[in-house]
Amino acid sequence: MKALVFERNLPRFAAARLASVVAGSGHGVGVGPLELLEVDPPSLPAPGWVRLEPRLAGICGSDLATLDGRSSRYFEHLVSFPFVPGHEIVGDVKGGRLDGRRAVLEPVLGCEARGIDPPCPACAGGHKGACERIAFGSLAPGLQTGYCADTGGGWSAGLVAHESQLHEVPEALSDEAAVMVEPTACAVHAACSTEPPSGASVVVLGAGTLGLCTIAALRHFCLPGTLVAAAKHPTQRQLAADLGADQVVEPGEVVRAARRLSGTLALVSDAGRIERLAGGVDIVYDCVGSPESLEQSLAIAHPGGDIVLVGMPGVTRVDLAPLWQREVRLRGAYAYGAEARPEGTRSTFELAFELVASARLERLVSAAYPLERYEEAVAHAAAAGRRGSVKIVFDLRRKSRSRTPSEEAE
Amino acid sequence: MSAPTLPSRPRPDGSVPPSRFLLRKPTRPLGADPLPVKGGLGTSYDTAWARRYPVRLARAMLLDDVTRPLLRAGCAPTVFGLDHLDPLELPVILAANHSSHLDTALLLSCLPTRIRHHTVVAAAADYFFDRRLKATAWAFVLGAIPMERTKVNRRSADLAAGLIEEGWSLVIFPEGGRTPDGWGQEFKGGAAYLAKRCLVPVVPVHIRGTRAIIAKGSSTLRPGPTEVRFGDPLWPETDEDARRFAARIERAVALLADEAETDWWSARRRAAAGTTPPFRGPQASPWRRSWGLPPSADPTPRRVPSTAEPDESSAPRRWRPKRSPTSWPQRTAD
Amino acid sequence: MSPRPGFVLEVDRSTPQTLFWRGEGFGLERLPAGSRVLYGPEPLAALRDPDAAIRHALDHPLGDSAPLRSLLHAGMKLTIAFDDISLPLPPMKSPDVRQRVIEAVLDLAAEAGVDDVVLIAALALHRRMTDDELRHALGTRVFDAFAPHGLLVQHDAEDPANLVDLGQTDEGEDVELNKRAVESDLLVYVNINLVAMDGGHKSVATGLASYKSLKHHHNVRTMRASKSFMDRHHSQLHTSNWRMGKLIAEAGVKIFQIETTLNTDTFPPEMRFLQRREWEWTARDRASFFATSKALERTPPELARRIFHSVKAPHDLTSVQAGEVDAVHDRTLENVFRQQIVPVEGQTDILTMGLPYICPYNVNSIMNPILVACLGLGYFFNLYRGRPLVREGGVVIMSHPTPWAFNPVHHPSYIDFFEQVLSETTDMLEVESKYETAFATDPWYIHLYRTSYAYHGVHPFYMWYWCAHALEHVSKVIIVGGDRAAVRRLGFSPASTLADALEMASDVVGRDPSITHLHTPPLLLADVQ
């Protein structure tokens, strides 16, 4: 079957890195280690595993970082080569309890999937994202499906999945909505695990897929006071406003908007530029993960406030003096598991399904490409904001041709 | 032989490699006592080295070949009253009013050669001698000796007296510091005391125009004309105490100031009538004291050009003396 | 040759192109035949001996007032307030009028032995002046005598310890003024009456007031009822200030008003062509124009701004009067009209104007889009007496690059106003009701106003209200050559060339509109019949 395979090939990795720096993000694919190959479908590693045939598979920011050669070396031990990327998957299940039905994959490979019994404390509590056995067990190392040599991944015609990873898709939900569930779950986990106090002032930096889903999740599951979103591109700004941001500003205006929101005084350079706020906002969600966004977050979070890193950052050089002096809490929000809600503990994916349906997040899927046109797809995903798009997916349904669904208003 | 490398690897026994030791200041072991610190600062700074012949020679060259031409170009000084100095036997004490950092250099430049190269200058110990580098610099450039200005200090008084007795003339500013607002301050008793103790005359000096060039607290330099006036030397009287003598010196300088503004005769008549304009200015609020300054003490004297003239007041003043340079030093008949 | 009065030119085929200002630059535009161009009167001759005239005025006051000499005595509390950096425009060459007048006053004060003197820059909610600006306005002699002792202060409208409430006028308008000024035995105000809006009771009632007072006449309703604010008898702004002035007098504040007028000799000799009628340009003028405009095309905007703002105008004193406020102001206005009035017959469909690089609120600074709107639709639109130059429902076309640029030190609240308020709404009343109080009371803007060189948080609102009458009157505003996004944010229409703008205007006023061009600076006041 056809699959996009990511080989371990250092020279090509370096070439991809260079190309992405010179020509821009997403352009390293042509020279990089990713190749469209004819491979055998992966075999079922153990009982409890079933086959999954992807219908739609999304391209995520972490995938782009990997393809550009930009991802942190932290992940070296949590990835096994060669792997098929793609962890945002809705597909047809072949075998097992959901045989013949559509399911969304929860890509995290926890203790259960790895056949480790008894499960580690995190997995026992349902927080598979924090699994402590991530590189062990009967599977090759891989923090998620899509980074593991034994499981295959979404950017292919078929992969394998453990029953515990599959969530049934209700009939009423379209494929586009289903493929949004996984990224939405990341956002839901970020929002629910760091729940801002009621009436808090919130700033969300970045309005790509993750940023927009975070805005929707905050609106739906929490009770923020005023929510300010920073979005670079007009499509993003429009969507941010639709999904519940009270105020949408350009990235350069965020510090001033945060100052107005919190009504605080500021520390100003000689030229009049606001360097940082004396007070600040209660909580900042950094859905960009760049050094600039982290600096901006530190400039606007108030003493004792929170900065949540939702998007995957890389190796960053940042001045931590403000973090120390203002006793700011910097925390990560990764993947999903189970959330403590007023009504009881619920799985993140369950909440994500709810959010995708109520906020109609299928409109964030802007374009779909066949596997053969993967170079274009990755380039489009890397430049999505600029091109008025949000989420780009691979369309693996049998009789489909690449189509570009209607985009949101420019 | 290969070049020495630094820094070096740590040695097993922890000792410092020889190259390192020679290049860095050695650390003192805890059991050893420190050497006594030599040389003080302030009034205990020893300026004797600056009076040795080679240093005096260098200082004289600096004064004559660098400082004097520069001052001549920038300050265009006119000197009056040198004939008061001619018949005097050295040493003398020169007591001048003080309004600018330029005063000392200007006064020294205007002295006749026999005095100029054999003079020390009393400089405030707390300002000029507070750091080693500054003390060295001023002792060299001006031949400065530290003088305590806020209270009576035996050491600086003895030093000054000793030097006078050796034949050094002394330049001293009895006000104790530069004038903050352009008017004079009360003359302190140092010059008077030294004159009585060593039985030497005090020559009053009035320096005019230096405040307009660079005032106290200002950092801008505006070249302009200056005048240095030497007055009648004053001998200490036997029954006069230092304070009254200081007041007499102050009156003499006030007379010279009046002479500078008007002329010698009017100044004399006013001195006789007791109506010399007060050296310390009017008793009024600060703004009125500023308003009443004579133009030479005012860094920005009022000039109101007529509308017919092209506007000059907003153009920056150029580095150019207002009068044509005259031969140095200028002797003008009184 | 005595200066010629202003006149209205009717453009015909022999008319050369007309000079249009475009911010830090200018160009030539061809106006269609039949357009009118308003030229101001030539500059009157300045007084030959201004200092003598000032001393004469101080000794021979107008109205119910004794000569200044006899009002000064030892032991009294004297305060001298003076107009701030917004006047005159462009800034005068040395010596500034304020320097001359204040030195004359201080000479009298020194003679009388007055010790307690304080100088106050009456800047209301404008920005504080820098030391250099104060030195330029007052002269170094006054600055050096007062500033080091803390006797030269800038009015701080947000310092409760330095404000005193004088009560309310009959219409319920609060009057809250600078404490030192009110508690003095004599308050001398030194004014420069550049345009007919300035001076009179407005000097003290506005210049030394606080937000609590100002909001009673700096609001949309008052500005809409000021037609125009250059004509005090038809201006609600002035009626309110006059009421406040009456209250101030009744409260016992003794004011000795000194008002001065300037001629319109606005540009130095090398830029004289900017003042002359185009068909009277000599060869040298044409060469100057060509060289300057070509050089400016290649100059980066920051440098061009600095060059223009360093230009000092040669305008000088044409009259000075002192004494009682009302009597003085009537005589002052006579002199202003003598210099500036141009009689104009009838209104027009389209009013065009070129906006220069400077307005009262961006001296030594950047003209941001809000100030562009204020200059064009506030000041220039209101340079009339009688009826506006453009008919109701007409179109105003202004030319200015309108850069999306703000000076963050001088205009921090303007940036927020532009980013936040105008992006939501440009409707005056909504802006006023929803946002004004938040900006006026924001502690950050207050901090910058008091300690830095920033206009008060509420000031951009006042700039917007200044356009209230114009925006109610005309139906379309077009900016030629402006940054499109900035112009759109203001709620106006961007056009690339004047021809395009006239084309866009024809949608509103029809195919064959009448056009009038306001050829200013130099300043003029249209008397429209």
Q: For residue B286, which residues of chain C lie inside 8 Å, CB to CB?
A: 145, 149, 151
**Minimum Cα–Cα distance from C317: chain B residue:** B307
Among C48, C95, C115, the residue with its CB nearest the CB of B313 is: C95
Q: Tell me which DSSP letter residue C46 carries.
A: P
Neighbours of chain A (3+ CB pairs under 8 A): C
**Minimum Cα–Cα distance from C435: chain A residue:** A260
Does A contact B via 3+ CB–CB distances below 8 Å? no
Write down the ipTM of this complex. 0.81
Q: What is the pLDDT of residue A48?
A: 87
The 3-state DSSP class for residue A330 equals strand
Q: Tell me which DSSP letter residue C196 carries.
A: T
E-state strands within chain B: 77-80, 93-96, 119-124, 144-147, 169-172, 202-208, 226-230
What spatial distance separates the first Cα and last Cα of chain C, rounded to whole Å? Answer: 29
Q: What are phi and psi of A10, to 5 degrees?
A: -60, -45
Q: What is the pLDDT of residue B317?
A: 40
CATH for the C50-262 domain, from 3.30.70.360, 3.40.50.11440, 3.40.50.720, 3.30.70.260: 3.40.50.11440
Q: For residue A259, which residues of chain C lie inside 8 Å, CB to CB?
A: 444
Q: What b-and-e string marks burial along C247-273, b requiring 16 or more CB atoms within 10 Å of the CB?
A: bbbeeebebbbbbbbbbbbbbeeebbb
Q: Any CB–CB contact under 8 A between C76 and chain B?
A: no
Q: For residue B290, which residues of chain C lie inside 8 Å, CB to CB?
A: 144-145
Q: Does C144 sit within 8 Å of B299, measured CB to CB? A: yes
CATH for the A2-179+361-409 domain, from 3.90.180.10, 3.20.20.70, 3.10.310.30, 3.40.50.620: 3.90.180.10
**Minimum Cα–Cα distance from B300: chain C residue:** C141
pLDDT tens-place values along chain A, 410 residues long:
889 998 887 788 788 888 888 887 777 777 788 889 898 888 888 888 999 999 999 999 888 888 887 777 777 778 888 889 999 999 999 988 989 999 999 998 888 888 888 888 888 877 877 888 777 777 888 888 888 888 889 999 999 999 988 999 999 999 999 999 999 999 999 999 888 888 899 999 999 999 999 999 999 999 888 999 999 999 999 999 999 999 999 999 999 999 999 989 998 988 888 888 999 999 999 999 888 999 999 999 999 999 999 988 877 888 899 999 999 999 999 888 888 888 888 889 999 999 999 999 999 999 999 999 999 999 999 888 889 999 999 999 876 444 445 443 43
Q: What does the alpha-carbon distance between residue C381 and residue C400 come to, in Å, rounded to a whole number? A: 15
- State how far Cα A93 lies from the chain centre: 23
Interface of A with C (CB under 8 A): 247, 249, 253, 256-257, 259-260, 263-266, 268, 271-274
Which tokens hold the place of B188?
């302190």
**Minimum Cα–Cα distance from B293: chain C residue:** C145
Block residue for tokens 């006592």: B33
Q: Tell me which DSSP letter residue C365 carries.
A: S
Chains A & C: contacts with CB separation below 8 Å: 32
CA-atom Rg of chain C in angstroms: 22
- Nearest CA-CA distance, residue C32 and chain A, Å: 40
Domain boundary assignment for chain C:
7-43+271-311+341-528, 50-262
Domain boundary assignment for chain A:
2-179+361-409, 184-336
Q: Which amino acid is at A96?
A: G
Q: Does B287 sit within 8 Å of C145, measured CB to CB? A: yes
Q: Any CB–CB contact under 8 A between C48 and chain B?
A: yes
Cα distances (Å, whole numbers) of residue A293 to A300, A307, A344:
11, 11, 34
Q: For residue C146, which residues of chain B lie inside 8 Å, CB to CB?
A: 287
Among C410, C416, C443, the residue with its CB nearest the CB of A256 is: C416
Cα distances (Å, whole numbers) of residue C496 to C471, C487, C499, C518:
22, 12, 8, 20
Q: Give helix B68-75 / helix B102-110 axis angle, nearest 10°.
A: 110
Q: Give pLDDT < 50 ranges for chain C.
A: none
C153: β partners: C120
E-state strands within C93-223: 116-122, 152-154, 163-168, 174-178, 186-192
Cα distances (Å, whole numbers) of residue B209 to A178, C62, C140, C320:
89, 43, 18, 36
Q: Which amino acid is at C337?
A: F
Phi-psi map region of B225: left, alpha, beta (phi>0 left; psi -120 to 50 alpha)? beta
Q: Tell me which DSSP letter residue B332 carries.
A: B
Q: What is the pLDDT of residue A18?
A: 83
Decide: pTM greater than 0.95.
Answer: no
Q: What does the alpha-carbon distance between residue B141 and residue B154 come to, in Å, rounded to a whole number? A: 25
The 3-state DSSP class for residue C230 equals coil
**CB < 8 Å from A in window 141-180 of C:** none
Q: What does the alpha-carbon distance between residue C186 and residue C244 come to, in Å, rounded to a whole number? A: 18
Among B290, B304, B305, the residue with its CB nearest the CB of C145 is: B290
Residue A166: Cβ within 10 Å count? 23
Q: What is the pLDDT of residue B312?
A: 41
For domain A184-336, the CATH class is: alpha beta
Q: What is the pLDDT of residue B304?
A: 44
Cis peptide leading into residue A342 (ω within 30°) = no
The 3-state DSSP class for residue B87 equals coil
Q: Which fold has domain C7-43+271-311+341-528?
A: 2-enoyl-CoA Hydratase; Chain A, domain 1 (3.90.226)
Q: For residue C443, which residues of chain A lie inside 8 Å, CB to CB?
A: 263, 265
Interface of B with C (CB under 8 A): 284-288, 290-292, 298-302, 304-307, 311, 313-314
Q: Any CB–CB contact under 8 A between C416 and chain A?
A: yes
Chains B & C: contacts with CB separation below 8 Å: 49
Q: For residue B307, which residues of chain C lie inside 8 Å, CB to CB?
A: 46, 48, 50, 316
The CA angle C427-C431-C437, to the nearest 5 degrees, is 170
Q: Tell me which DSSP letter residue C5 carries.
A: P
Q: Does A271 sit within 8 Å of C408, measured CB to CB? A: yes
Contact between residue C436 and residue C426 where contact means Cβ atoms under 8 Å apart:
no
Nearest to A388 by CA among A263, A224, A234, A251: A234
Q: What does the alpha-carbon distance between residue B285 and residue B279 come to, in Å, rounded to a whole number? A: 16
Tell me the helices (H) and strands (E) count for chain B, helix number first. Answer: 13, 7
CA dihedral angle for residue C253, residue C254, residue C260, residue C261, rounded to 10 degrees: 50
pLDDT tens-place values along chain B, 334 residues long:
444 555 556 666 666 666 677 777 778 888 888 877 766 888 888 889 999 999 999 999 999 999 999 999 999 999 999 988 988 999 999 999 999 999 999 999 999 999 999 999 999 988 998 888 989 999 999 999 999 888 778 888 899 999 999 999 999 999 999 998 889 999 999 999 999 999 999 999 999 999 989 988 888 888 999 999 999 999 999 888 999 999 999 999 999 999 888 888 888 888 888 888 888 988 888 888 888 888 777 766 655 433 333 444 444 443 333 333 333 333 333 3
Neighbours of chain C (3+ CB pairs under 8 A): A, B
Q: For residue B299, which residues of chain C lie inside 8 Å, CB to CB?
A: 140, 144
